[in-house]
Amino acid sequence: MAILKNIAAIAKGMSITFLEMFQPTTVENYPKGSGPLKGAQFQERFRGVHVLQRDENGLEKCVACFLCAAACPSNCIYIEAAENTAEKRVSGAERYAKVYNIDYNRCIFCGYCVEACPTDAITHGHGFEIASYNTSTLIYRKEQMLVPMPEGAHFPLKVDPAAESDSH
């Protein structure tokens, strides 16, 4: 009886394989496809190269709180913080990340940094073509990950000191 059950199970499994032979073949035409990902398709939740976000005014969302670096199990985030000044405002809080590097030699794309960020400054993009024979090129700098400035915004944002002191 057990043998018959096993044979039936194998036949059922093989029938699925057999039917698949007559289904149309679906391939992604990578790397000759259209779009920025050259035809590659990803689920929205795919964790690719990180993206550093700006707010609608062009200010960087990162406020250099170091929570992402603290949460990172691979210790691959390096941040140097700097103070915003009246003349040069880069983020919406007191500090901004003057340097923000991620070492993709060590990143395991776990997403803990994204979860830890209180300002949604760091997210996962869909970038995936980062393989390299030169490991130094796998250290990504802030400038490589920062989203472009929205149209109409200027960098660095100049703040009128008089207007700032009026607001206090």
Q: Tell me which residues touch ligand SF4 (CB under 6 A).
A: 62-68, 71-74, 76-77, 79, 97, 102, 107-113, 116-117, 119, 121-122
What is the nearest approach in angstroms of ligand SF4 to the Cβ of residue 50?
A: 7
∠ CA 107-64-152, rounded to 5°: 100
Question: Between residues 62 and 90, which has the closer beta carbon with respect to ligand SF4?
Answer: 62
Q: How far apart are CA 114 and CA 118, in angstroms?
A: 9
∠ CA 152-155-157, rounded to 5°: 90
Question: Between residues 12 and 45, which has the closer beta carbon with respect to ligand SF4?
Answer: 45
What is the nearest approach in angstroms of ligand SF4 to the Cβ of residue 34?
A: 29
Tell me which residue of 102, 91, 40 sits closest to 69, measured CA to CA. Answer: 102
In terms of C-beta density within 10 A (0-12 exposed, 13-18 middle, 19 or more buried), how is residue 118 classed? exposed
What is the nearest approach in angstroms of ligand SF4 to the Cβ of residue 60?
A: 8
Question: Between residues 37 and 116, which has the closer beta carbon with respect to ligand SF4?
Answer: 116
Neighbours of 8 (CB within 10 A): 10
Question: Between residues 143 and 151, which has the closer beta carbon with respect to ligand SF4?
Answer: 143
What is the nearest approach in angstroms of ligand SF4 to the Cβ of residue 157?
A: 17
